[in-house]
Chain A
Amino acid sequence: MTDADHIMQARYIFASLKKLSMPEDYLAIADGAMIVGYHLGNALLHKHGVLAETEHANTPSKLDRPINALPAPIQAAYEAFAELEKLRFDYVRSASKYDARLASVVWLHLETMQRACRDELTG
């Protein structure tokens, strides 16, 4: 998929995510945010030539390099993506209860990634 394809898909999944609400859908939102992050993250990797359009990185932990070795303009987005991955581990893949912290940080991390894409892809 091209960077533009990923951005489009991220928008589409983000719109789906907005149909859900905290606290009752906290698991779904924490998990779905990772999918939005996947598309935004791969758009940035393609745009910066880190990965070809035929390749993809599922998560920050599966990247072939540390975040600080990525191009500087996308490091903040990947730090946010790494935080989303940690939230998925803590809330979705571990025993968990909703807490109010989640409600704000999920959207904040997604906003960081969306901003990076806006800056990079649309100027």
Chain B
Amino acid sequence: MKISEHLTKADAFERSATKLDPTQDTALYVVMLLRAATNRVNAALHVLGTTTEGAATPVKLGDLNHTYKPKLNVPVPDELRAAFKNLALIEDLRTDYVRGNKSADTALLNAWRAAYAAIRHDTDPIVTREHP
């Protein structure tokens, strides 16, 4: 997808997340964080030229569905290493909080929000750059 489409989607998922109560709507809230974060990381990867916003080729991947799928065939750019770690943290929540039935306390929710905020912190300066 094009960079602009990723950012539009990320913004939409963020807006939807604000309509939820994270303590009551934990599963859906996690999904919103995950989708917003994945779109921001994809947009940043496209800007950096690590992946392409066009059609994927054998040499250059297109969109990642997750940090691990499809597996990047080049190293994660230094600028996005922390964002990948934070995105993986959010992805790992699915087992217990989306596909499972665990509930989250305030400390956990704050940690997840912090992970998402860190992804924005790392990707915002990249996605606002001029790109080829």
Contact = CB atoms under 8 A, between A and B. Distances in A.
Determine if chain A interacts with chain B: yes
Interface of A: 1, 5, 8-9, 12-13, 15-17, 19-20, 24-25, 27-28, 31-32, 35, 38-39, 56, 58, 92-95
A56 B99 contact: yes
B13 interface: yes
B56 to A, nearest CB: 13
The range of chain B's interface size is: 20 to 34
B20 A27 contact: no
A95 B5 contact: yes
B28 A32 contact: yes
A16 B65 contact: no
B15 A24 contact: yes
Contact of B65 (A17, A39, A93): A93
Interface in B1-51: 1-2, 5, 9, 12-13, 15-17, 19-20, 24-25, 27-29, 31-32, 35
Interface of B: 1-2, 5, 9, 12-13, 15-17, 19-20, 24-25, 27-29, 31-32, 35, 63, 65, 98-101
A19 B5 contact: no
B35 A31 contact: yes
A19 B20 contact: yes
A5 B35 contact: no
B5 to A, nearest CB: 5
B108 to A, nearest CB: 17
B27 A9 contact: yes
A104 to B, nearest CB: 19
A20 B19 contact: yes
B12 to A, nearest CB: 5
B63 A13 contact: no
Contacts of A92: 9, 35
A17 B1 CA distance: 26
Nearest to A56: B99
Given A27-B9, A32-B31, A1 B100 contact: yes
